[in-house]
Amino acid sequence: MIDSILFNIMLVGVLGIASQWLAWRFRLPAIVVMSIVGLLVGPIFGLINPKDDFGDVFKPIISMAVAIILFEGSLNLDFREVRGLGKPVFRIVTFGALLAWILGSLGAHYVAGLSWAVAFVIGGLFIVTGPTVILPLLRQAKLKPRPAAILKWEGIVVDPFGALIAVFAFEIINFLISEDVTGLSLLLFFAASLFAVVFGWALGKFTGFIFENGHVPEFLKSPVVFALVLACFTISDHITHETGLLAVTAMGMTLANMHISSIDDMRHFKENISVLLISTIFVMLTASLTVDTLFQIFNWNIIAFVLLMLFIVRPVSIWLSTIGTDLSIREKILVGWIAPRGIVALTVSSYFASVLLEKGFEDAKILTSLTFALVFSTVCAHGFSIKWLAKKLDLAISEQPGVMIVGGSKFSTEFAKTLQNMKIPVLITDSSWQRLFSVRKAGIPFYRGEILSEQTEYYLDMTPYEYMIAATELDSYNALVCTTFVPEVGRNNLFQLSLRSKNDDDLEDMVHTIGGRILFQNHVTWEELNKRVERGDVFRKTNITEKYTFEEYLKERDENTLLLFAHKPTGRIEFFTEGSSPKIEQGDVIVSLTQPCKELNKIQEKLTVQRETKAKEDKKKADKPKESAD
């Protein structure tokens, strides 16, 4: 291969993002794809070895990447999210983590054959799940809010504590076996951990203060946060190894609960960075493994230990720690099964493997193989099973992509009723009870509140809704809604109604850049759509078949028919928009808004046919006696 650090960095980045795309395209767990790609280009084919290629900068790159990922995850830890979940979450991250440490350490000693010292170090590390693996799985599985919140909080909060417990166990070992280490070193370790929490909290408060008081311009906010996170991690980690993760977690949680208006912008920036880092780091770590490490995984002690962690340690620790909480049996089963290990386990275990070997613990040489076996097994087992298990336990949201409509009106109500009849999840949101009157009367799911409010994300679960339509009477508000939700929904799935004004001004050009895609192709506005519904226009569904093609449908349709969307057999919805039309194929259902006259004609034709048929049958019955008489 080309002997160039720049080329290797490029290759790792491309492979990581390509893995993410493949996982999205074929609906596979992204972590599994990245791990396989790393193994293929690393130990299997020997194309790259990042650990050797990057040299001394390998570990700092991994450590800083983990710190940024952990900070981005902790930015989502708003205490308002765990209302009603405080008790089970607290139990799992405290008593549950302690149980997992003890049980995992016992398993490492009696099953994996590790010495007590090494077992307690690695047992503490194996309690982590971490945002690098759990967050992609949650996005893929589309869990209901309760189990998703529990798994997310556990993964992010326990992540730094797992590394700290491992460090704590190592300090205890040092204290017991080394004459140079005294009780003072243990006190210093606890003091350093406390300093990390306080330092992270102080940096979070400082960041919030300078942002809220206008001391940092908007264009510098994300870079400033990025630099402060690295400083927070590096300073704390320099004082005591592994306390940097605790510091960045405290900083992120502090910022998340200050409810700063510009946090969302920073969060989106950090999410993009995290996706890139997770992709590249997983490829780097798996590509750095050796062939000997892979073969060592098939040792029966390691296999037995992995099975013990999967089927005994995790379920038992969750079930015991959640006794007396309001978690249902189904939620306990799901949470007790899902615990994938990730980047923190791989990076920290490699550090302790080298340190423990230096201390004379020969059994520490299998730590890398043991850790990778657990990481890869849990990532595969949980990555491929979380969606299936969540469905079986009724803890997953429907796979059918839903539609969220912003703005209550007669058109919105009738449009939503049509979607409901097609078994498509739909929700209408509005801040006015009056505009929601027809929606409530029709029995359509609704949310009364301001969709742009920060509070909305804590009361409204948007996971089932893949498409959003801004359908209010205000063009500017529609554009604002679409622009706000671009990071969550994606520009391709955001739509708004056509503008009222079609003058030669800059408004239309502006909407193409800051708003959503303009719905429908006849430039129909909010007023026109509602007038058509009020005068009696109906929503019609037309099946496209081999005999009745889309071309024939276009020829026969009324000139005033407005094409709305195509419903694909896969469940996808493709809207007709200005400048583009979906590719219509056999099996699609076309939904349109059309005048009722054609519907009345069809009904009249059916009635005529029925009458003629009945008349023929009556005539046959009347003729039968005459024939028998003859």
pLDDT beyond 90 at 315: yes
How many residues are listed for the chain in this entry? 630
* 267-276, 333-342, 383-392, 489-498: least confidently modelled range: 267-276
Confidence of residue 262 (pLDDT cuts 50, 70, 90): low
List, in order, residues 6 or more apart from 340 with CB less than 8 Å away.
Answer: 31, 129, 133, 134, 137, 375, 378, 379, 382, 383
Beta bridge partners of 590: 542, 566
Structure tokens at 198: 């306080």
Reported as a single tens digit per residue, the pLDDT across 79-132 is 766 666 678 888 998 899 999 999 999 999 999 999 988 999 899 888 888 666
Beta bridge partners of 396: 143
Reported as a single tens digit per residue, the pLDDT across 13-54 is 899 899 888 887 777 767 778 888 988 998 888 888 888 888
CB of 374 closer than 8 Å to CB of 126: yes
Q: Which of 535, 553, 551, 545 is nearest to 596 (CA)?
A: 535
- The H or E element that residue 541 is part of is strand 538-543
Mean pLDDT calculated for residue range 297-305 = 91
Instruction: Say if 5-181+262-392 and 402-594 have the same CATH topology.
Output: no
Please indicate whether residue 263 or residue 598 has the higher confidence score (pLDDT).
263
Mean pLDDT calculated for residue range 375-383 = 87
What number of CA atoms fall less than 13 Å from residue 278's CA on the CB side? Answer: 26
Reported as a single tens digit per residue, the pLDDT across 170-216 is 777 766 666 665 667 778 878 888 999 999 999 999 999 998 888 88
Please indicate whether residue 629 or residue 74 has the higher confidence score (pLDDT).
74
Angle at 518 between CA 514 and CA 522, to 5 degrees: 150
Confidence of residue 279 (pLDDT cuts 50, 70, 90): confident
CA separation for the pair 234, 247 (Å, rounded): 10
Torsion of CA 617, 618, 624, 630, to 10 degrees: -130
Whole-number pLDDT of residue 267: 61
**Where are the domains positioned within the chain?**
5-181+262-392, 402-594, 597-630
Beta bridge partners of 566: 574, 590
Mean pLDDT calculated for residue range 363-389 = 88
Whole-number pLDDT of residue 446: 93
Tell me the pTM: 0.66
Sheet holding 573-575, edge to edge: 538-543, 589-594, 562-567, 573-575
Whole-number pLDDT of residue 559: 80
List, in order, residues 6 or more apart from 310 with CB less than 8 Å away.
Answer: 377, 378, 381
Q: What percentage of the chain reaches a pLDDT higher than 70? A: 86
Q: Which of 61-70, 218-227, 485-494, 567-576 is the most confident on average?
A: 567-576
Q: Which of 516, 431, 504 is nearest to 476 (CA)?
A: 516
CA 406 from centroid of its chain's CA atoms? 23
Reported as a single tens digit per residue, the pLDDT across 129-150 is 866 678 777 767 778 878 888 8
Please indicate whether residue 523 or residue 420 has the higher confidence score (pLDDT).
420
Confidence of residue 506 (pLDDT cuts 50, 70, 90): very low
Class of domain 5-181+262-392: mainly alpha
Confidence of residue 471 (pLDDT cuts 50, 70, 90): very high
CB of 143 closer than 8 Å to CB of 390: yes
Please indicate whether residue 224 or residue 609 has the higher confidence score (pLDDT).
224
Mean pLDDT calculated for residue range 430-445 = 91
What number of CA atoms fall less than 13 Å from residue 126's CA on the CB side? Answer: 33
Strands (E), 182-328: none
Measure Cα distances from 188 to 120, 493, 510 in Å.
Answer: 20, 53, 58
Confidence of residue 600 (pLDDT cuts 50, 70, 90): low
**What fold does the segment set 402-594 form as a domain?**
Rossmann fold (3.40.50)
CA separation for the pair 256, 259 (Å, rounded): 6
- The H or E element that residue 240 is part of is none
Q: Which of 114-118, 238-242, 503-507 is the most confident on average?
A: 114-118
List, in order, residues 6 or more apart from 22 with CB less than 8 Å away.
Answer: 28, 33
Confidence of residue 630 (pLDDT cuts 50, 70, 90): very low
Mean pLDDT calculated for residue range 485-511 = 69
Whole-number pLDDT of residue 501: 53
- The H or E element that residue 625 is part of is helix 596-629
> What is the residue whose two structure tokens read 């946060």?
225
Whole-number pLDDT of residue 453: 78
> What is the residue whose two structure tokens read 């009157």?
437
Q: Which of 383, 271, 340, 282 is nearest to 18 (CA)?
A: 282
In single-letter form, the type of residue at position 287 comes to A
Whole-number pLDDT of residue 192: 86
Long-range contacts of 104-107, Cβ-Cβ distance < 8 Å, separation of 24 or more: 104/309, 104/313, 107/305, 107/308, 107/309, 107/312, 107/313
CB of 383 closer than 8 Å to CB of 137: yes
